[in-house]
Amino acid sequence: MERRFIIVFCFLLFGFFAAGQPVFPEKSQIYRDDVVARIDILIHPDTLEWIYDNVESDHEFPATFIFNNGTVHDTVEEIGFRLRGNTSRYSKKKSFKVSFNTFHSGRKYHAVEKMNLNGEHNDPSVIRSKICWDMLRQMGVPAPYANHVEVYINGNYYGLYINVEHVDEEFVLSRFGNNGGNLYKCLWPADLTYLGTNPDNYKFMSGDRRAYELTINEDIDDYADLRDFIQMLHSATDDEFKCKIDQLFNVYDYLKVMAFDILTANWDGYIYNKNNFYLYHNTQTGKFEYIPYDLDNTFGIDWFNIDWGIRNIYQWGPSESRPLFTRLMAITEFRNQYSYYVKYMLDSVFNPDLLDPRIDQIKQGILAYVIDDPYYPQDYGYTITDFLNSYNQPLGGHVKYGLKPYIQTRYNTALAQLALNDMVPVIKYIRCSVSGLNQPVVFQAFAEDNTALSYVRVVLSINGAEQQELELFDDGMHQDQAPGDQLWGNQMDGFTEATTLTFQVEAMDNSMHASVLPCIPLVAEIGKLPSHRIVINEFMAANQSTIKDEYGQADDWIELYNASDEPVWLGDMYLSDNLGNPTKWMLPDRTLLPGEFLLIWADDTPSQGDTHTSYKLAKEGEEIGIFGNTASGYAVIDSVTFGTQNDDISYGRIVDGAPEWKYFTLPTPGETNSATGTGELMGTDGLVIYPNPCDGEILNLNGFFDIALYDIYGRFVREGRHVDQIVVGDLMPGIYLIKTTSGIVRKLIIR
């Protein structure tokens, strides 16, 4: 399989976010912290008994879900319900998985497909993981939202739980703006140890699951990207390591996670227990992102007889191999940057003076729900007195520290162990953005250091000419957002013709330490379109029975066709149902041969495979567009705008790749379009115009109409009475509106 990595970041200004920088969506109502919501599960008692008798089963049973937080009160029928977790399945207080899309494909509740209800039976304070999730987000790490909820099953109170956002394709889409890359759920013994060049070696089983379990693109099942990352950890020399890891991994954000794991004593993660983390291959950057997972064994919870409050912050891992952690600690530059993030946490999110009041606030908010929790005492005999004491003193057994004493002890010992040295500047989230020829080219980069930065600048070459420099600023006045936010920016004049830019970002601090990244300069091809022709050849927005996908579902579909004379790799292009949002869905990592077709299922179910989009088509009419890669500025390769569609009638080019479009009463998904299958669909009550966009003399209608044509400013252009065609060859390029006497309005693009 052909593999390519995106190393070019040149964006159309549809959104204003830095390349690779995680996004933190607004908190949903279902994760509110100011109230403990009530969740009711209604399920047949015999089914519930079976679930408790078969704790290892992941079978999801239908149930009714009711959510009430005083503001939001919803009932959702036919959700999937099962146990979740590993060892917690054998606890008295079990954890549960709620799935909204098990029996209704693509269904979401407040933008989530699944909900994790964690019993937190190991933690007498019932607060540790909640603090961790909040702390990570405050540090700028893409972590799930979480809040406390009370859970009832069939009217019986099952206790206080933590509702944690599920990490899946919806999560990575909301944080990284894409979800087409591989997402690996990494559980014990996922130590990232090199197992050879065969990608299948990394599919090894641990019990009844893979240690590196693929949760997106499962049907392709290609582990080559994970193999490449682990092979780099194994084979890169110390001199190569900085450059190579920056190419394949968001290393600077992971250094924050290292600091977090070690200060909170998250021993059940990657570093100590080779467990509980996700790796997502971000298709926008080509780099893996590290996502933490399952954070209840923290803040002094211990099963190894280790005093986590005093353990050395530089020798924190076990003696066995942890290549990612040990290699980073062995490189002075990364070790110093890790130390910087430890100090940052000690000054802010891990400072007892700042953290203790928040802990007290949460404690008071959940106290009444713990008092009534019938399952709270059942695993370790905890009483409400133990709950109150657990915040300030150890309870024995695995609870070696009170929550607050652990924080104070770890704060003091980490501060004493900390070896702060001048570090080289951190540079990440490099971005070049341009909206087209003759438009300004904007550069941005995130840069920070333990001392003040002397300068941050772009070093660039235009069409291979001598290098020049563009200074970046962090003053809020140079395309850099807010002053002092460590996001630096500036712009340069646009170009009147197709131009190649090669560039890097350089930062120097007041101690004369400099960084230049990335090691291999980025290349931005401004105003250049690909030479190939990938076209939208046929589509159906109201599929009822014409064709079914591999899951037996009659989903809407889009047929792509390679109308050029050369193979075309699709993996850096996008297919969207919104011309204003070109990167809505990335095309699969496939090569389309000349004359070859590819059928895409527009079903809003990307978990079903790489030919299933994250959106559906609207029968009432909308847009479809193919867009080029980041280097082209997401240039439009092909697009079509359509109106109301009829059931099981497709709309396509009358000849493969040709400009003229017709309706197909005999659709040809994945096959050559045939003129004998076309029809005029007389009698439809909707207006369809084609071709659209139009670059010819005549615009066709799908019947006879009385119409009026207006420009985008609402000025009358011309009219037609009982016509099925409109002459448009004399019109200036632009956007127009066609309106019928019955009030139907359609948008027309003239090229």
pLDDT in tens, 722-747: 787 888 888 887 777 788 877 677 77
**Confidence band of 530 (pLDDT split at 50, 70, 90):** low
In one-letter notation, the amino acid at residue 415 is L
Q: Would the CATH topology of 529-679 be identical to that of 686-751?
A: yes
Which range of 213-227, 618-632, 640-654 scores highest in mean pLDDT? It is 213-227
Tell me, what's the pLDDT at 578?
85
Question: Mean pLDDT highest for which of 324-338, 513-527, 597-611?
Answer: 324-338
Q: Which residue has the higher pLDDT, 455 or 527?
A: 455
What is the fold, at CATH topology level, of the domain defined by 426-526? Immunoglobulin-like (2.60.40)
What would the CATH number be for the domain defined by 686-751? Answer: 2.60.40.3080
* Dihedral sign for Cα atoms in the order 343, 347, 348, 351: positive
Band of the pLDDT at 714, cuts 50, 70, 90? low
Residue 676, pLDDT score: 43
Q: Identify whether the C-beta of residue 670 lies closer than 8 Å to the C-beta of residue 566.
A: no
**Whether pLDDT at 536 is above 50:** yes
Peptide bond into 394 cis (omega under 30): no
Both ends of the chain: CA-CA distance in Å? 37
Q: Per-residue b/e over 553-579, b at no fewer than 16 CB within 10 Å?
A: ebbbbbbbbbbbeeebbbbbbbbbbeb
CA-nearest of 506, 470, 522 to 491 is 470
Domain ranges of the chain: 32-417, 426-526, 529-679, 686-751
Please tell me the predicted confidence (pLDDT) of residue 278. 98
Q: For residue 202, name the pLDDT band (cuts at 50, 70, 90).
A: very high
DSSP bridge pairs for 606? none
Read off the pLDDT of residues 313-355 as tens digits, 9 standing for 90 and up. Answer: 999 999 998 999 999 999 999 999 999 999 999 999 999 999 9
CA dist., res. 246 & res. 7, Å (int): 11
Six-digit token pair at 301?
């919870």
DSSP-derived letter for residue 187 is -
Mean local confidence (pLDDT), 713-725: 78
Confidence label for 528 from pLDDT (cuts 50, 70 and 90): low
- Segment 278-307, tens digit of pLDDT: 999 998 888 999 999 999 999 999 999 999
Mean pLDDT of the chain: 89
Q: What is the DSSP letter of 485?
A: S
Q: Which residues of 731-749 are buried (b: 16+ CB within 10 A; e: fewer)?
A: beeeebbbbeeeebebebb
Question: According to the model, what pLDDT value does residue 680 have?
Answer: 37
Q: pLDDT for 583-592, tens place per residue?
A: 889 999 888 8
Using 50, 70 and 90 to split pLDDT, how confident is the model at 8? very low
User: What angle do the packed helices 323-330 and 224-235 form, to 10 degrees?
Assistant: 40
CA distances from 476 to 23, 140, 294, 481, 729 (A): 20, 20, 38, 5, 47
Are the C-beta atoms of 633 and 527 separated by less than 8 Å?
Answer: yes
If DSSP codes are grouped into helix, strand and coil, which group holds residue 238?
helix
Question: Is the CB of residue 415 less than 8 Å from the CB of residue 309?
Answer: no
How much is the pLDDT for 57?
Answer: 95
Is a pLDDT exceeding 90 seen at residue 89? Answer: yes
Is the predicted pLDDT of residue 2 greater than 60, yes or no?
no
Q: What are the φ and ψ backbone dihedral angles of 284, each rounded to 5 degrees?
A: -75, -35
CB 661 within 8 A of CB 640: yes
**Alpha-carbon gap, residue 547 to 543, rounded angstroms:** 7
Pairwise pLDDT comparison (705 vs 198), residue with the higher score: 198
* pLDDT score of 480: 92
> Pairing mode, if any, of strands 61-68 and 73-84?
antiparallel
Highest mean pLDDT out of 86-95, 256-265, 481-490: 256-265
pLDDT in tens, 46-84: 999 999 999 999 999 999 999 999 999 999 999 999 999
Is the confidence at residue 87, as pLDDT, over 80? yes
Strands 734-740, 698-711: pairing kind = antiparallel
Give CA–CA dist 116/100, Å, rounded: 12
What CA–CA distances, in Å, run from 554 to 290, 537, 607?
36, 19, 16
Report whether pLDDT(97) > 60.
yes
Full-model pTM = 0.75
Stretch 508-520: mean pLDDT? 95
Cα–Cα distance for residue pair 543/521, rounded to 1 Å: 47
Percent of the chain with pLDDT over 70: 94
Task: Provide the pLDDT for residue 130.
Answer: 98
Write down the pLDDT at residue 437.
Answer: 77
Class of domain 529-679: mainly beta
For the chain, the farthest-separated pair of C-alpha atoms sits apart, in whole angstroms, at 88
In angstroms, the CA 639 to CA 627 distance is: 9
